[in-house]
Structure 1
Amino acid sequence: MPVGPVTDTPRSRLKVIVTRRLPEVIEARMSELFDTTLSPDDRKLSRDELVEAMRAADVLVPSVTDRIDAAMMDEAGPRLKLIANYGAGVDHLDVTAARQRGIHISNTPGVVTEDTADMVLALILAVTRRIPEGMAEMQGARWKGWSPTSHLGGRLGGRQLGILGMGRIGQAVARRANVFGMKVHYHNRHRLHSGIEADLDATWWDSLDQMLARVDIISINAPHTPATFHLLNARRLKLMKPSAVVINTSRGEVIDENALTRMLRTGEIAGAGLDVFEHGHEINPRLRALPNVVLLPHMGSATVEGRIEMGEKVIYNIRIFADGMPPPDLVLPSML
């Protein structure tokens, strides 16, 4: 689809509407470059408010909390030409519907790779070494002193780590796992080049089922697509060892959360570290109550450096698009 100038007015008058608060330095730069409307209170917009913003903007800058479907795009009107998503994941946006309506979508890939991989290792350590339990005991003044058999966790060295999704983040996790002495296995839509496999010392499994049965830890690093929805369903979770640990920093929809909760409660799976959830911020109370689970509020990419770099990518995509060229991080339906 050819890209032409989005407006006849100067770039500085391009109307950009941002749905959530961004780092101050990014908001200031956007306000310098464009006619920018910022979010004053960081409140999640309602459906009607999102549609109103889409009607008024040349460029909308949403985040993962803003779900925009085909019906909303039908209501947007002719002005909106670019949705410059603040984030890499675009499963909250109907990319196909946008393409059909001449609305381009860009994202911010590669920015939070290292930050998210760090969080994967943090969750693995937190679950396997029972760090939250120890913290709660200390903060609650319940610690009675050291004992040879108290707070026993497991050593990471020698454990079999399975990585589901071996893109940028999966490979960054593999590099960290090697340092800790873990054995890396992976399942991916396409096998990696042999040189990359050798560099990561990673073993490819064509069969996800076979890999799940052999690993001690599974790290979910796959995007949410129709093909990955409940990829870890009840049947596949039952293939795992009772001593296994599930880590998810990708998208909650990849796991059947109800099945995972049941198995954690009955001891069929030893533990889980979750930074994302199937139903957003609505956490299953039974999952929240489990002592063998570490839950985080979507913190995988939450570093100052990462958030600023995400904003810089958004600005760059808007500037290039305003000059009549495709945004560098254009998202196409065929990429999903």
Structure 2
Amino acid sequence: MSFQHIPPMMLQTLPVEIICTIIRFIGSDQLRKQEACCLSVCKRWYAIAKPLLLEDLKLSATQLVHAPHNVQPKLRTFLRHLTLDVHGPKGWPAEQDITKLNEILTLLVERNNRLASFTLRVRSEFDPASPLTPRQRYSSWDPTRFLSILGTSNLSHLVIDTFGSELSSAIHLCPQLALQIPSLKSVRLRMRRICRQILEFPQGDNVIRSQLESLVINLSVPSVDQFFARFSRHCTEPGLSSELYDEMITTGTEIARQTPRLKVFKIVCYRHRIVCSDTVVMNCITGIKTMIPGSWAWGDEGDPEPDPLILTNR
């Protein structure tokens, strides 16, 4: 039965819980489209739906900074899932707005029991004359303050996917992230610079038990064209991408033994060749390496299971 066939009085007498379920089923993105007219059914529906529209947001960093000031308290109250999806310089704040970006992120995350997931996706624009060099490196943003407060919130899911962009080349983020990752349940990382220190979680009797259940690290970024693949580099030591891959697997396998709560721990790397291409997924818990045709971001995002014939032992 469609909304058009439901008597208006019946819609107005539905319990709030059922209305919320219907609105969430439709989805906030769909509700924001002009053709979604269900919010105009009645004032009661609109009043119920208005805060739900703030539960799941996808913004650029520029949009977040330029949002009206009176919106920020509402975001802290209602926001549950935030995605900062930045593509090129237009989505990144001007230099004078970087401080404000840190202030807003701190407000939304610090000691917030509402926000459950945060995703940062930064994609660079590339110069056609030099396709391996990003035009924008976002080097003016120092995320240290933001990372230091992750453990104070109720955040359970974190994605940092910078598509090869340099967020801050002068700052070694891996030790800072290693302090915060155990307080989260699910983490996905794809960074331009990374090293095994990101897996050196705090140890000792006074350390809070790790909550981490799922960790996926991708050591490759999307190809600029069909001939080149780009890989993460070591934060402090020069070397080949294969050396970083082996180092991360060795450390990851040891961490998997020390973290019994972990159910998923994968290290993903895209291997590009002229004849064929595949994604190598190492399961650090089982020690099984899977060769998956094509390029996968995380190796488990709704794609069909790989053919068992292409499974190989470590």
TM-score computed with the length of structure 1 as normaliser? 0.27
Higher relative CO (Cα under 8 Å, sequence separation at least 6) belongs to 1
TM-score computed with the length of structure 2 as normaliser? 0.28
Larger strand proportion of the pair: 2
